[in-house]
Amino acid sequence: MLALGLPMAGAQTRTVPRVVPKPAVAEPRTQPSAALPVPIGSGFTLRGLTLQGQVFGLSLLRGRVVLIHYWATDCAVCLDKMADLRRRAEAWQGQRFSVVYVQMDKQLASAQSYWQMVGMTQRGGSPATVLWRRDAAYRDSLPLSRPTTLPFSVLLNPEGRVVTSVEGRIPPQIWAQVAEQLR
């Protein structure tokens, strides 16, 4: 019998390699940045076809506070925070607040699969407004090379002007700004 941690007589001992922890990966920026491609106070263009095939333009949401959320199903941070984002949007249902999800997935099928799964498990409410950025009809105010970090969100006031934008997780300050815009 082998005693815990002690080798049997005549058995060879083995050296266990030392594990050196990797340095922590820097958290994505969550503060609004002047270097981002969306100037505060500017108008924002967003139009295209939804995943349901309906024509969409920001003018349909004039008078509402709008959060435009760029994300992809292969982004771990994005997936981790989607349930929270959907819950917050649901909590403001019936108020002048809307979230528009912009899928950055390379394959349309990835976006469709995700939203089909969410639709099967989501409580009531109307379907989410989801646009696929690679669709031929899609247009927005960002250069094609942006955003470079996902998730990326842009908050618009009821007049359609940019209040702020954020790379990475959506910090509590953004939700406070949503509440302020809804007053």
Delimit the domains of the chain by residue range.
46-182
pLDDT by 10s per residue, the chain, length 183? 444 444 445 544 444 444 444 444 434 444 444 456 789 999 999 999 999 999 999 999 999 999 999 999 999 999 999 989 988 888 888 899 999 999 999 999 999 999 988 886 666 656 789 999 999 999 999 988 889 999 999 999 999 999 999 999 999 999 999 999 999
Indicate the pTM of the whole model.
Answer: 0.79
- Return d(Cα 139, Cα 142) in angstroms, integer: 9
Fold entry, domain 46-182? Glutaredoxin (3.40.30)
- The pair of structure tokens assigned to 56 is 């969409």
Strand ranges (E), the chain: 46-49, 55-57, 65-71, 97-103, 129-132, 139-140, 152-156, 162-167
